[in-house]
Every structure is written in structure tokens, then in C-alpha cells.
Amino acid sequence: MSNKIRELFSILGGDKVFTDPFDLISHSTDPGGIRGHVDAVVRAESVDDVIATVRFCRKYKIPLTPQGALSSLTGSAVPFGGIVLDLQKMCKIEEINIEDSYVVVEPGLRVEELNEELKKHGFYFPVDPTSSAVATIGGAIASGAGGIRGAKFGTIRDWTLGLDVVIGTGDLIKVGCRTVKCRQGYDLTRLFVGSEGTLGVIVKAVLQIHPIPEAVNRIVAFFSEYRDGVRAVREIKKAKIVPLAMEFMDKATMDLVSKFVGFEIPPKSEFALIVDVDAPKESIGRISEEVELILKRCGAVITSSDLSKEEIEKVFVMRKSATSTIINTSKIASFSEDVTVPPSKLPELMAEIYKIKGEIQYQSFCFRSYCRWKHPSKGCDKLRGRFRKS
């Protein structure tokens, strides 16, 4: 492999190819703790760099893993041998077209950076991954990202109009268009979205943008029973209200995260619901009041009217930082998953989650009890395999 890497140096230049152990390790592990390995890292600065790298890997049949900020929790950007193609330096905004409501950007641009620029024009990109401060556009497209505003705006698949992609042969292809109505031929754009780098390397994206709402209000409610909270979600939908965002947390999550944001969970709170509504200034108050009434009718013990604005924001920060907090503080393995069900199936989903949670807690209790009774001086780790077999 060393001779091939030297050839890659000669093709791209020594300032774009890295084999230092620190660089290799930092590009081999995602925040979820999934670890791989890589032989070299290429930091592409142009489409030509990407094409040259793809053709080099094709020539020698070397695995190639495109990467953005490596903020995904799915393992989709973790390499297992070969070369990592780091696209973070390709981060330009090439065009902002307000009249036609689209932008053209490079893949390494971060979602938050894009929105900071669009804000100057009164627009924003509605897709809001949890890691939007670090997540790149290319990575979000490749992983089919959704986010907190998905309740209203869907996923990045619904906002990607066109793409420039370097496919496995090293050829550059253009798919999609720069209009919302793009009706001719196969919808290859949506095929590339969510393909996780298996079909090609995204080097440019045309994204639809949306005017920033006139007014947004955040409403928070705490329930003593999760079934009441789930019922509130359904009642809000039945009232023909389409929230900008709707997120929930159970008590275990709140107990873990609240201490890091300095929020005291209200007594008897087993389930928290966060609802963002957007509307013209003239109607935001009426819609917010209607949502709060629905929450109270469904059994909310605490609502936004009982909290300060600072406390409401802390609840939102709890939800936004929940995944990273769990991963960074968990003493055992943690797994992050996106679950998508229709609102009508939320009661069944929550019932099954609580059932699984109860079974795991029972098994954990039995395991600890067995260890203390059978081998009080030996620690549970030595008995783990034996306990599982039994």
C-alpha cells in the first residue's frame, strides 16, 4: 500500500494526502463510538481532486469512503480500510437565488453556516439535523438527514433539487434541476439522497430554501403519564395544526440531561412534549393558545404558562443535546436510532419501548443480584459471558 500512497502523493500533492496516525484515528471513529481503520486521508479542495482520487481508487481497487464532519451516529461514514475522502474544505456558497428560492453549495458547507448567510436575506434552509452546528450539507444529503423541523418540512430528500456527483468511474454527472417542478426523466436526485456514498461522491448541491417564519412560539408541557402526552400529539394533529417541530422526552432522558443544563424537572413529570408553532404575527398568539389548551385537556401537569422563557429554552436544549449527552456519559454501550411511525401508531410505539425498557431493567437487576450473591468479590465483568449463557 505504501507505494500506492506515494503515487497518490505525486498526483494530488503532499498538502492533500495525510497518513499521520492522529489523522487516521480522527477519521476512523464516529461520535457513536463505531470504530474502523483507514490507510490514508485525502482532503479534497476541488472537484478535480475528487475525480483524481476516485480514479486512483478505481485503478487499484481501493475502498473509498467520502466524509463530511463525521458527525453521523449510524456508522455510515466510518471507513474499514482504504482511503477517506474528506470534503470539508469544499465549503463555498456558489449562488443564492432568492427570486427562484434556491442555493448552490459545496458539500463541506455546514448547515448552520448556510443558515447564517441565508438569514441576511430573510430565508433559511428548513432541514435541521440535531448536529447542524457541525453537520455538512454533503453529509446530510448522503445520510438522508431529517431533524427537529421534520414534523413540518420532512427530510433533506424533500429539499434537494439537484446534485453534481462523481460516480465510481471518476466521471462527473449532474442530476436534477434548479426548479421545484422537475418532471422529466428518472428522479436520480432522490436516488443519491440517503445512499451514504455508495453511488458516488456529492460535490455540489442545489437546495430549495424557504422564507423565515414571521413568528415562532415554543410551547412546553410535562405529563405525569406518557399516554397523555402521546394523546396530546394526536389531538394537535386532529385540530389541523401543523407544528414547526414536535419533540418529546421520557423521564429517564430528562433525569440524565437536566443536570447538565441546570433545569429542575417539575415533580411527577414522566413525559415532556415540546411544540414549536410558526405563523403570521397576527395569528401566532391564537394558535399558541389553542395548542396550550389541547395540552391541558390531555392532562398536562405543567405548561409554558407555568414556566419562564429561560426555562422553556432549557427544556429545548435538553432535547437538542440528549443524544450527545447519553453517548458521552453512558457507562455501557448506547445505540441511537431514528424511528418513524405515523402519529396514529405512537401509542403502540411508546408501549413497546416501555415494554423493552422494563425487560432490560429486569435483566440488569437479575444480573447484578447474581453477581453479588455468587461472587461478591469478583466484579460482574468476569461473569458476563457465563450469565448470558445461563
Q: What's the whole-number mean pLDDT along residues 24-42?
A: 90
Q: What's the whole-number mean pLDDT along residues 6-23?
A: 92
Among the residue ranges 159-168, 207-216, 376-385, the one predicted with the least confidence is 376-385
Q: What are 338's three cell numbers?
A: 431514528
Task: Please give the model's pTM, rounded to 2 decimal places.
Answer: 0.84
SS3 for 124-159 is ECCCCCCCCCCCEHHHHHHHCCCCCCHHHHCCHHHC
- CATH number of this structure's domain 93-211, picked from the four choices 1.10.150.530, 3.30.70.1560, 3.40.50.300, 3.30.465.10: 3.30.465.10
3-class SS at 356?
Answer: helix
Residue 324 binned pLDDT confidence (cut-offs 50, 70, 90)? confident
Q: What is the dihedral of CA 223, 228, 230, 235, to 10 degrees?
A: -110
* Res 259: pLDDT: 86
What is the average pLDDT value for the chain, to the nearest integer?
A: 88
Helix 2-12 / helix 47-60 crossing angle, nearest 10 deg:
150
Quick check: 367 pLDDT over 80? no
* Res 133: pLDDT: 85
Query: Do the bridges between strand 83-86 and strand 64-67 make them parallel or antiparallel, or are there none, so unpaired?
Result: parallel
3-class SS at 110?
Answer: strand
Residue 373 binned pLDDT confidence (cut-offs 50, 70, 90)? low
Angstrom CA distances, 320 to 4, 148, 257, stand at 44, 8, 10
With 0-12 CB in 10 A as exposed, 13-18 as middle and 19+ as buried, what is 294? buried
* Res 287: pLDDT: 95
Quick check: 58 pLDDT over 90? yes
3-class SS at 360?
Answer: helix
Among the residue ranges 149-163, 220-234, 308-322, 372-386, the one predicted with the least confidence is 372-386
Quick check: 361 pLDDT over 80? no
Q: What's the whole-number mean pLDDT along residues 315-327?
A: 83
- CATH number of this structure's domain 2-86, picked from the four choices 3.30.43.10, 3.40.50.170, 3.50.50.60, 1.20.120.790: 3.30.43.10
- Residue-wise pLDDT tens digits, 78-118: 999 999 999 999 999 999 999 999 999 999 999 999 999 99
CATH, domain range 215-319: 3.30.70.3450
- Residue-wise pLDDT tens digits, 232-288: 999 999 999 999 999 999 888 899 898 888 898 998 899 999 999 999 999 999 999
- Residue-wise pLDDT tens digits, 108-160: 999 999 999 999 999 999 998 877 888 999 999 999 998 888 888 999 999 99
